[in-house]
Structure 1
Amino acid sequence: MYKQEKLFSNDRVILLTLKEEYFDQILNGTKLHEFRFRFPVEDVIAYIYLPSPIKKVVGKFRLSNTRFLDIKTISDFYHKTYEKPYSEMFDWVTPRKGCYVSDITDVMAFEKCINYEELIGIKGFSAPQQYMYLESKLELLEVLEKLK
């Protein structure tokens, strides 16, 4: 059964869909932030689901200090932090008023991943388009917490 003390921790837990290339950049230390148009503002522990063709939960990390930045501020931040063209972020975020940025820390890649075929047999699993909270999906959360 799910550990009772975890139910009362301050950490929200999500299953986050992420492209494989971005997870690789996080692992090698070249991607330090997550950028999203919609995202929870509170700190979260994110289990990482890589979509097709991988279709596996491959690791987890903490997302913290989430804040919404307007178009100019996020473009400046991206340009200065990643030494990428200002226009790269500006063009991506321009249809919106800005985006959320979160700091990525406590990164862990799992030695043994869990694949889609196993996941679909677990109550509460569905592959999220963006992310989904896991607090009400106790069976799924219990399986994910055992991954190392």
Structure 2
Amino acid sequence: MEVGVQESLFDGSDTAEPILMTLYAEYYDLIWPGLKRHEFRRRFLAGQSTQWWVYLNAPVSRLRAVIDLGPAVVGTPERIAGIAEQTRVGNGASVLEYVQDLEQAYAIPILRVREYEGLSADDLRDRFGSWHPPQGYLRLRDPGNLDMLRICEKLLAEEPIREMTVHHP
């Protein structure tokens, strides 16, 4: 099955929905050599580009990167697993196991990645008094999350440690 993802003109501007989501470092590390070109989720925003501030779970425990995401491909678990399999042979089975109980799941194309020194969990606790990484995702423009959005936006003022554009066949 050939899945086409149109190259986006998304440039990380204000048209993208800013979100904060967690990710395990082992999956984040797959992006750089091109082994991960989509983020797979059980629930997500449909029909829009997003700008994802990435908090890497323990043991890294750090707000570390900003990833520009294209609009999600929404489909059956089998279709979403097929997208995973195309990028990395054998990955389709684990993605299918993750989403098989759903009517629809999400494959979100990764378009651009910028990595920063970022902020540790301790830094975030110092700024907020307490810090708990989100389950799922946080929409940073929601009124209760505006302080976090301001902190996240400060990352963009820094020079990235590394960055890349992800190409989709």
Q: Identify whether the pair has TM-score above 0.5, normalized to the shorter chain.
A: yes
Q: Which residue of 2 aligns with 1:116?
A: 121
* Residue 33, structure 1, aligned to residue 41, structure 2: no
Verify the 8 A CA contact 2:38 2:84 in the aligned structure 1: no
Residue 79 (structure 1) aligned with residue 85 (structure 2): yes
Q: Is the Cα contact below 8 Å between 1:125 and 1:140 reproduced in 2?
A: no
Give the structure 2 partner of residue 146 of structure 1: 154
Alpha-carbon distance in 1 for matches of 2:59, 2:26: 12
CA contact (8 A) 1:58 1:114 kept: yes
TM-score, normalised relative to structure 2: 0.73
Aligned residues of 2:55 and 2:63 also touching (Cα < 8 A): yes
Length, aligned pairs only: 140
Residue 14 (1) aligns with residue 19 (2): yes
> In the alignment, is the contact (CA less than 8 A) between 1:13 and 1:44 conserved in 2?
yes
| Long gaps (5+) in structure 1 | 1-7
Question: Which residue of the partner structure matches residue 163 of structure 2?
Answer: none
User: Is residue 51 of structure 2 the alignment partner of residue 45 of structure 1?
Assistant: yes
Give the structure with the larger strand fraction.
1
Query: Is contact 1:122-1:139 (8 Å) kept?
Result: no
Q: TM-score, normalization: structure 1?
A: 0.82
Q: In the alignment, which residue of structure 2 is the partner of 1:89? A: 95
Distance 2:71 2:106 in 1: 10
Equivalent residues of 1:122, 1:140 under 8 A apart: no
Report the Cα offset of residue 40 of structure 1.
0.9
Which whole-Å CA distance do the structure 2 matches of 1:142 and 1:62 have between them?
A: 18
Gaps of 5+ in 2: 1-12, 159-169
Structure 1 residue 85, shift from structure 2 partner: 6.0
Change (3 A) 1:61 1:92: same
Q: Which amino acid aligns with 2:120?
A: N
* Deviation readout 1:98-122 (Å, 9 max, x if unpaired): 3111100110011x22011111233
